[in-house]
């Protein structure tokens, strides 16, 4: 499929989770089958442009294309100027965030809070589309609340204003990450527009991805939470969509060098102090539900030394491979809504 003139391989995309989908993780996801990985949500506020966090989030050196940057804000002029700035840095697609449900973002009238003001939505889209020569996409929720699912109307307006792709999460702002995603609204949007529509929300297995695509007729799926624990889910989903059968379990020795390289890149991206602290969360997700995972998490929690954390992960993977060629899951590896809400608050506090 294409986003405007930009070619995108495959039908399995990675979500732009704030504080999570950084450059090292996007590179890992791409190496494991993600055809498209949007950069983590970044504020359009020019006062924060020179901050270390914003600079890290906009860094795309060494990353395979297409390079997509997601911007959040409520001021059309500021968003347009930020889009131009990102294109100058190498962005090939600008994605506008109207889907984040975090209180900090919505209290600033950004993210999914924008869905309450359709006139402002129109001005933002028109300003950003006019500002850049690259394609503009939009990520949003189905509406502000279950009784007000206005995504179909907004999506038709966005298409008319020049947006080249829509990503729709099957929850409203009021839902947060609670309950289950609904896909009827995504199916309705797909029937109303001609540009690509991407389905997002609760897609955690190849079978679920297939079912969502069948129901919505969407052009692709976007995966977020599930890819934190199983970054190879992109490859699993793509295989299922192509062949109709489950892929053989991934071998530990196949992903071991990729995971260790990812950790090295993570430390290089953030530096020793922030890198060691933030790597704990990354390792915790990878270890979720795995035999020996609790012991791994305990070990990395006890040190702020990057080399020691790497040794802990390397030892864990070596021990796991010695027991079995494949990962052994003995517990729940899902992410609860409460954990999601907590991560949203923490992640957006870094913005």
CA distances from 239 to 63, 147, 244, 248, 249 (A): 24, 37, 7, 10, 12
Tell me the β-bridge partners of 13.
Answer: 36, 222
Cβ neighbours of residue 33 under 8 Å, at least 6 residues apart? Answer: 10, 12, 232, 234, 235, 236, 237, 238
Cβ neighbours of residue 61 under 8 Å, at least 6 residues apart? Answer: none
Query: Of 60, 86, 100, 175, which one is the catalytic site residue?
Result: 100
In the block, tokens 């699912």 appear at: 149
84: left (phi over 0), alpha (psi -120 to 50) or beta: alpha
**DSSP conformational letter for 346:** H
- Contact in structure between 276 and 304 (CB atoms under 8 Å): yes
Q: Is 175 a catalytic residue?
A: no
200: helix, strand or coil: strand
Phi and psi of 93, rounded to 5°? Answer: -140, 140
Phi and psi of 288, rounded to 5°? Answer: -55, 120
Q: Which residues are catalytic?
A: 100
């Amino acid at each position: 499929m294409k986003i405007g003139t930009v070619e995108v391989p495959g039908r399995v995309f990675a979500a732009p989770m704030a504080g999570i989908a950084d450059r090292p993780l996007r590179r890992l996801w791409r190496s494991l089958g993600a055809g498209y990985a949007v950069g983590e949500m970044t504020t359009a506020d020019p006062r924060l442009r020179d901050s270390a966090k914003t600079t890290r989030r906009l860094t795309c050196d060494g990353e395979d294309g297409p390079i997509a940057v997601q911007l959040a804000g409520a001021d059309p002029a500021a968003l347009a100027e930020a889009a131009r700035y990102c294109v100058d840095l190498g962005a090939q697609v600008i994605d506008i965030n109207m889907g984040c449900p975090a209180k900090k973002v919505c209290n600033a009238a950004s993210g999914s809070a924008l869905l309450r003001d359709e006139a402002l939505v129109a001005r933002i889209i028109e300003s950003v589309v006019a500002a850049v020569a690259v394609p503009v996409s939009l990520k949003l929720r189905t509406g502000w609340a279950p009784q007000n699912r206005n995504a179909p109307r907004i999506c038709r307006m966005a298409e008319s204003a020049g947006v080249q792709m829509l990503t729709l999460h099957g929850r409203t702002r009021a839902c947060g990450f609670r309950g289950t995603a609904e896909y009827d609204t995504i199916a309705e949007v797909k029937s109303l527009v001609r540009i690509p529509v991407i389905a997002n929300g609760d897609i955690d297995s190849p079978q679920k991805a297939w079912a969502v695509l069948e129901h919505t007729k969407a052009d692709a799926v976007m995966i977020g939470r599930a890819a934190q624990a199983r970054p190879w889910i992109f490859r699993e989903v793509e295989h299922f969509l192509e062949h109709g059968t489950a892929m053989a379990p991934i071998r530990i020795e196949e992903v071991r060098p990729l995971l260790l390289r990812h950790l090295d890149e993570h430390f290089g991206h953030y530096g020793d102090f922030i890198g060691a602290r933030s790597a704990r969360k990354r390792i915790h997700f990878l270890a979720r539900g795995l035999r020996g995972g609790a012991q791994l998490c305990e070990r990395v929690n006890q040190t702020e030394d990057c080399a020691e954390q790497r040794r802990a992960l390397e030892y864990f993977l070596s021990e796991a491979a010695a027991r079995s060629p494949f990962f052994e899951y003995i517990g729940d590896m899902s992410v609860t809504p409460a954990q999601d809400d907590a991560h949203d608050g923490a992640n957006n506090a870094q913005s």
